[in-house]
Amino acid sequence: MMFRRKRGRDKTSANVRLVGRDERERATYIIYSAARLAAALDFLRQTPVTEEFVYLIVETPQGNIGRDLVYIFDESDGTPLALAPRPASSDPTPSETHCAWCGHFVVPVELPRLRFHEVVSSVATHVLVEGPLYKRGHGFSCEHCGFLQCAVCSGMTNDDADPPMPTCRSCGRELRFHMEDVPLHELRESSRLGPNGEIVLFPDDPLGDETWGLLPLKVPWTVDVEAFLAQPTLPYLWPGDDRYESLVADWGADARRMLRASWINVYLHHPNPDVVSECLRVARPDSVYNMTALADLLASPTAEQSLKTAASVALWALDSEPKVRMVLNLLLSRGLIASDYSPQAVHQALAELWATCPAEKARWFEEQLDDGEDD
Ligand SMILES: [Zn+2]
Ligand SMILES: [Zn+2]
């Protein structure tokens, strides 16, 4: 059977004409011209830009407007005029780089942009990205389906400061931020002695926050942890850094408690086993801000077994189910961000937690291990 294609006039091509293409090193500009601004706007609304660094520009006598991955904008100064509409497919297309639902590139979140807030509730790690996700073309990924889902297709196009996490449109499960791939363990394990052998240099940690890892830090190889924490005023970790100091200022009356938690985090990451051991003995890691450091120690590829046992005992001694759960969520990567511990390290950490689990908690602990496992 023959189909006769309807020769309907393409409205946009009638009003908008391709002028040329300008390939630059970092960007591609595709230039059009139109007799009227309204036609240009119409055209841009209907012509998706699915890649980063590709710009459609329509020149008109009333001024030029453009479209990029996120916005329709005024070309003269880049001011966004409207969020560029994205097509919405009900039939997802799997991709490791593009949204399954609209086909737009999902810009991976760079880790240093993140700030972390641990919460005691169900999710171990809560992430705030600076500014709404859709403005930078960010999005999410579903570990179960393997689909990416951009912020727009997730319905996150308002400027809500702390929006609820969206769920996967395909399976309804929790999503994770789509992030650039960084070998975190390499950075974590690169703590090393300074040139004179007396100073430990901690590099900054891409998952770091103001209580650990925000910036590189030098500390002595030997520390009297008890005397240090007994000082009437605890020092800042990064004195003189504006961003850090403004974060500390937000702590207000909590500053001492937060600084104590911060230094405990430093000492739990210390490569000198005597420092870690003394820290666990004299300073209860009882803040929610210490749970990541405990998980790091339990899953450390280099820490001595006796330290892991001590860390596990210290965790149970807190007698706090939410805190044990936070550590478990981190070890099992149940948070929004994959924790990047090796499977073997996680296995050993769980074995240690089992071995030191108080008898009356055994049943609860078993339930926590089962809980949240899909399939
Ligand atoms: Zn999308
Ligand atoms: Zn899914």
Q: Report CA(49)–ligand 2 centroid distance (Å).
A: 25
Q: Which residue has the higher pLDDT, 373 or 61?
A: 61
For residue 88, how far is its CA from the centre of ligand 1 (angstroms)? 7
Q: How many angstroms is it from 146 CA to the middle of ligand 2? A: 7
Question: How many separate domains does the chain show?
Answer: 3
Same domain? 274 vs 167 = no
Give me the count of residues in the chain: 375
**Closest ligand relative to 154 C-alpha:** 1
Under 8 Å CB-to-CB from 119, ≥6 apart: which residues? 126, 288
Cβ-proximal residues to 157 (8 Å cutoff; 6+ apart), any chain: 83, 132, 134, 151
Q: Which amino acid is at 256?
A: R
Residue 269 lies in a domain: yes
Flag whether 54 is in a domain. yes
pLDDT attached to residue 193: 36
Q: Are residues 218 and 170 in the same domain?
A: no
Q: Assign 43 a pLDDT band (cuts: 50, 70, 90).
A: very high
| pLDDT of the residue at 242 | 92
Q: Are residues 285 and 366 in the same domain?
A: yes
> Is 202 found in the same domain as 162?
no
Ligand 2 geometric centre to CA of 278 (Å):
45
Task: Provide the percentage of residues in the chain whose pLDDT is more than 70.
Answer: 83
Ligand 1 centroid from CA 155, angstroms? 9
Predicted confidence (pLDDT) at residue 13 exceeds the cutoff of 80: no
Q: Do 22 and 153 fall into the same domain? A: no
Domain check: are 129 and 225 in the same one?
Answer: no
Does pLDDT of 16 surpass 70?
yes
Tell how far the Cα of 134 is from the centroid of ligand 1, in angstroms. 10
208 and 165 assigned to the same domain = no
Centre of ligand 2 to C-alpha 61, Å, is 47
State the Cα torsion 287-289-292-294 to the nearest 10°: -30
Joined together, the tokens standing for residue 28 give 């591609």
Are residues 332 and 189 part of one domain? yes
Q: Which ligand is nearest to the CA of 166?
A: 2
- What pLDDT sits at residue 37? 95
250 & 127 share domain: no
If you average pLDDT over every residue of the chain, what do you get? 83
Q: Quick one: pLDDT at residue 162?
A: 62
* From 9-18, 32-41, 142-151, 344-353, the region with the lowest mean pLDDT: 9-18
Domain membership flag for residue 197: yes
Asked if residue 97 belongs to a domain, the reply is: no
Whether 239 maps to a domain, the answer reads yes
From the CA of 173, the nearest ligand is: 2
Q: Is the pTM of this model over 0.85?
A: no
Of 37, 65, 83, the last residue of a domain is 83
25 belongs to a structural domain: yes
Could you tell me if 261 and 342 lie in one domain?
yes
Q: Are 314 and 212 contained in the same domain? A: yes
Q: Domain ends where: 162, 177, 192?
A: 177
**pLDDT tens-digit map of 115-159:** 332 222 222 233 445 567 788 899 999 988 989 999 999 998 877
Q: Does residue 183 carry a pLDDT above 80? A: no
> Does 51 fall in a domain?
yes
Provide the domain limits for residue 122: 111-177
Q: What is the 154 CA–ligand 1 centroid distance (Å)?
A: 7
CA of 53 to the centre of ligand 1 (A): 17
Q: What distance in angstroms lies between residue 329's CA and the mean position of ligand 2's atoms?
A: 19
Question: What confidence score (pLDDT) does residue 39 get?
Answer: 95
- Summarize pLDDT for 320-339 with one digit per residue, the tens: 999 999 999 999 988 766 77
194 and 280 part of one domain: yes
C-alpha 37: how far from its chain's center? Answer: 40
Estimate to the nearest angstrom the gap between the alpha carbon of 24 and the chain centroid: 31
